[in-house]
Chain A
């Protein structure tokens, strides 16, 4: 669309330019034509001026001859002196260059007339006078008798018979026979010398006998006396006639006798002394014109041609000025149009470029936004952005999923409503890490861990970015790992304790054997002597023996407890013997604390497992019970063995009143203990539970009982003969 518009504007501009140039050219051509027309009229003017000058001058010359005719008519006989005087009177009129003179030629009909003339002239003192060329005897002839001014080259014409020459004779006859002024054709005057030869003509007027009639041709033939005439040197004459009043000649004139067909007819052409002749000048060919002038019975063809001096008047400067100004104006207009259009176009282009730029930036911005959104939606961590009022601005998909109830708790809600437990201090923005429990709308409790970062946007507003991850599962796994680690640690501890206990047992048992055997031997010896006064000694030695046995019992218990028996093969354990072992192990402690411990095995059954581990569990339970009741007024512990189908329940009840409800949940957790620091590891129950589960059983606290009650549940062993052998072996 823009391109079409641009093309339209370009076209219009070209159109305007074309129109303006056309107008310019038209004006230019018209002005040039006018210049030519003006010049032509000037030229015509010059031409008509020249024509009229020639015409007027020839008229005047004719007038001179008519005057002479009159002079002759009024005078009986004109002599030389009279003629000369008359002509001198006319000197003003004749004072023109080119008019060679004014003369009189006498007509001579017979040889006698010729002789009479010759003798007469000779008698006047011109002894050399002859008529030349000598005419034939009977021929009609003439002779120039008078010729003023009678000097110089005119002397050469004295006595010349003009009638003898064809061109002159025609003119002379015409003048004579028609009684008129007659102009001759082109001749070379006899006055001409070898230098500066010019074409010449002669103008004749007839002189008839005084008082005679010359009305008819016959009269005229009879009465002719002679001719007055005027020899004209054409170049001089025309040079004089056409000489401009001022400045150089500006037109060239060629005068032909008759038509302009031949140079034979050329009477006059502008002499070279006047300057360059010919088609010259800067502007085109010279202007030419021709006119015909009828003069005394002859037609002169006058050819005119402009000369540079005139052509200087032919000025195209105005036309060119119009052309140049027109073109400049046209270009200026187009330039202005182009400028305006260009400016609009540039503005348009600029606007277009800006629009494009803006569009590009928008796309970039959108892309970036999309990237951020994609990133936010792709990451597993929850991200919430909220402002300083605690209002949520946005949150990503992970945050919505984690917090549950996706849509209702998104943007616009206060964080405190969406997340009641989140303790971000909006008043004093500080980056902080947190770990917080969160109860979802579906009731599931999750544990999230994250951090809060404050940032200031370009707008100046502060926002907080809350990033967090759901660590519930991770925490569970961590706890499990911790439990396993604790179990492993405990096992290792027990193993090393077992090794140590073995060493201790070995070291103690040997001296113990010495003590016991020695005591036994002493008792034997004293008994054999049968001395009553030594009975107190016997009693003392018996006490030593008993104490040694107790020490042996304690050492055996330690051995049983500390053995790392996890790797041991399982064997069949008799419930009653298990109880017996436990009783033996705990005997010392219960005695010291003054706590009554009763063992009640309702039904003896066999259990498949590791006796040492069962011992460990039971001793642990009893130790816990003893610790719990030692400060109580009522101090007892009851251990009951019951069989329910395929399950053995070993119930340990003490005189305490249960475990505080807040602690019940955690008693099986590793390292949870209510005992004073240094008194318990917090591992007992958790290890016990692990062992029970490993044997396919369970260990649990029974809620809601009057007294503190723990139940160790183990599967009953379906007995067979082989396993009873094993049992005996291990017993």
Chain B
């Protein structure tokens, strides 16, 4: 595994347990600190209590969807993380992504290597603060 995500605090929001497990495995293997929740409401609580570098979220979810989550994070949270969508269905309008500062939208099924490399590119290791977990 060549991708280095060490020092990144990532909040994974995904209601599908299998996929959530894959995200955790992949991000942790790359050195990131991963917090995973199953819905938007739970994610908002986490985002308000904990600082994250990246919120990686599904759009359609049973307990609070991704769109609502982004809106709440952007309006309620003191620390603003980067947000990435990973959606099964491209039903998010382009102007929404621009307005709420969604960094990237990935469509499922995503290319695993592409995803990880994009995150590493967004958060270069040289710029990451050294953090003790």
Residues of chain A touching chain B, judged by Cβ–Cβ distance below 8 Å, are 502-503, 505-518, 520-521, 524, 548-549, 552, 559, 729-730
Q: Which residues of B contact A506 (CB under 8 A)?
A: 60, 87-89
A-contacting residues, B1-37, CB 8 Å = 1, 16, 18-19, 22, 25-26
CB pair A512–B108 under 8 Å, yes or no, is yes
Interface residues on B, range: 20 to 34
For A508, the chain B residues whose CB sits under 8 A away are 88
Report the separation of the CA atoms of residues A518 and B26 in the bound assembly, to the nearest whole angstrom: 10
**Within 8 Å CB of B22, what residues of A?**
514, 517-518, 521
Within 8 A of A (CB), among B59-114: 60, 86-91, 94, 107-110, 112-113
Of all chain B residues, the one with the shortest Cβ separation from A503 is B89
B94 and A729 contacting across the interface, CB-CB below 8 Å: yes
Assess whether A511 is in contact with B112, with CB atoms less than 8 Å apart.
Answer: no
Complex CA distance for A521 and B23, rounded to whole angstroms: 11
**Are A520 and B88 in contact (CB-based, < 8 A)?**
no
Report how far A510 CA is from B87 CA in the complex, Å. Answer: 8
Is B113 within 8 A of A510, CB to CB?
no
Q: Which residues of A contact B112 (CB under 8 A)?
A: 516-517, 520-521
Q: Hey, which bits of chain B sit against chain A, CB under 8 A?
A: 1, 16, 18-19, 22, 25-26, 58, 60, 86-91, 94, 107-110, 112-113
A518–B19 alpha-carbon span in the complex (Å): 9
**Closest CB of chain B to A548's CB: distance in Å?**
6
Across-interface contacts of A730 in B (CB, < 8 A):
94
What's the Cα separation between A521 and B3 when bound, in Å?
Answer: 14
If A513-B19, A514-B16, A514-B18 touch, whether A505 touches B26 (CB-CB below 8 Å) is no
**Which single residue of chain B is at the shortest CB-CB distance from A524?**
B1
* Docked CA distance A279–B90 (Å): 158
Q: Contact partner of A502 among B16, B58, B89, CB < 8 A?
A: B89
A559: chain B residues at CB < 8 Å are: 89-90
Q: Distance in Å from the Cβ of B46 to the closest Cβ of chain A?
A: 21
15 contacts between A and B (CB under 8 A): A509-B88, A510-B19, A510-B88, A510-B108, A512-B109, A513-B19, A513-B86, A514-B18, A515-B109, A516-B112, A517-B26, A520-B112, A521-B22, A521-B25, A521-B26
Q: Kindly provide the distance from the CB of A564 to the nearest chain B CB, expressed in whole angstroms.
A: 13
* Residue of A whose beta carbon sits closest to that of B58: A510
What are the residues of chain B within 8 A of A510 when measuring CB–CB?
A: 16, 19, 58, 88, 108
8 interchain residue pairs of minimum CB distance? A509-B88, A513-B108, A509-B108, A506-B88, A513-B109, A516-B109, A506-B89, A512-B109
Q: What residues of chain A lie closer than 8 Å to B86, measured between beta carbons?
A: 513
Please tell me if the beta carbons of A509 and B91 are within 8 angstroms of each other in the complex: no
How far is the CB of A118 from the nearest CB of chain B, in Å? 206
> When the two chains form their complex, are residues B60 and A517 in contact, meaning their CB atoms are under 8 A apart?
no
**A549 adjacent to B89 (CB under 8 Å):** no
Residue of A nearest to B98 (CB): A729
Q: A509 touches which one: B18, B89, B94, B113 (CB < 8 A)?
A: B89
> Within the complex, what minimum Cβ distance (angstroms) separates A568 from chain B?
11
Residues of A within 8 A of B26 (CB): 517, 521
A505 touches B89 (CB 8 A): yes
Q: Does the CB pair A517–B91 fall under 8 Å? A: no
- The answer for the CA separation of A569 and B110 in the assembled complex, in Å, is 28
| B96 → A minimal CB distance (Å) | 13
Shortest A88–chain B CB gap in Å is 195
Chain A residues near B88: list those with CB within 8 A.
Answer: 505-510, 513
CA distance A507 to B109 in the complex (A): 11
| Distance of B10 from chain A, by nearest CB (Å) | 16
> Within the assembled complex, what's the spacing in Å between the Cα atoms of A506 and B86?
11
Q: Which of B19, B60, B113 is within 8 Å of A520, CB to CB? A: B113
Q: Are B91 and A502 in contact (CB under 8 A)?
A: yes
- Residues from chain A with a CB closer than 8 A to the CB of B109 are 509, 512-513, 515-517, 548-549, 552
